[in-house]
Chains A and B, each alone.
Chain A
Amino acid sequence: GQSLEQPSEVTAVEGAIVQINCTYQTSGFYGLSWYQQHDGGAPTFLSYNALDGLEETGRFSSFLSRSDSYGYLLLQELQMKDSASYFCAVPGGAGTALIFGKGTTLSVSS
């Protein structure tokens, strides 16, 4: 089977940096994705790592280590609007079939 583990909750203050870790066990591995979901909203894509290393997109970065079956999402210069749930996910193939972690709820306070 496939499983992904991530912390259930993280809290931080505005302007801080937070790292959300994700470890995975999969039978086949294509890469690691991250999605953000605000309360009542649809999940939206943040990043995808197919290869080891760091991918940076503005305030958000994502890292992957295939040898350690581990990745993380790094959020810098936190803003109140970053309060949301963050999910790591692994694709099951070339399409939209994704296995998600249970999600990490990030609460940003002022």
Chain B
Amino acid sequence: KAGVTQTPRYLIKTRGQQVTLSCSPISGHRSVSWYQQTPGQGLQFLFEYFSETQRNKGNFPGRFSGRQFSNSRSEMNVSTLELGDSALYLCASGTGTENTEAFFGQGTRLTVV
């Protein structure tokens, strides 16, 4: 069974640009969540999508947005990039119907210069 796939793995962007990250969940999983990981703040929850609807949202500015497609693939967009957006962005997938296990992808390492 293929795991969670995130693309690209690495990305370098300039301040002010926008970026789109992609996440393909495990087949059959309908819940996809996004996280930002930095050394200072740890793993912070951005948002969760379930069956194409945003079900939960963390405490991030509106520059961070996402969506989920009918095949459960998800994208995350960050507009007007700031230096502080440099981080590892992780996506996790799960069935969405039980509080047991979230399966994480390897992440996208975003560097803003």
- Residue numbers of A with Cβ under 8 A of B are 30-31, 33, 41-45, 48, 50, 87, 89, 91-103
Contact = CB atoms under 8 A, between A and B. Distances in A.
Interface of B: 4, 31-33, 35, 41-45, 47-48, 50, 55-56, 90, 92-94, 96-107
Main secondary structure of the interface of A (DSSP, over half): loop
A42 B104 contact: yes
A42 B99 contact: no
A31 B42 contact: no
B99 A30 contact: yes
A96 B90 contact: no
A41 B43 CA distance: 13
Contacts, number: 80
Contact of B32 (A96, A98, A102, A103): A96
B43 A31 contact: no
A97 B50 CA distance: 10
A33 B33 CA distance: 16
Nearest to B96: A95
A45 B103 contact: yes
B42 A92 contact: no
Given A45-B100, A95-B33, 20 more contacts: A31-B99, A41-B106, A44-B104, A45-B101, A48-B100, A92-B56, A93-B56, A94-B96, A95-B96, A96-B32, A96-B96, A96-B102, A97-B45, A97-B48, A97-B55, A97-B56, A98-B45, A98-B102, A99-B45, A100-B43
B28 to A, nearest CB: 14
Contact of A92 (B35, B44, B48, B107): B48
A42 B48 contact: no
Nearest to A90: B99
Contacts of B106: 41-42
B99 A48 contact: yes
A100 B101 contact: no
A102 B42 contact: yes
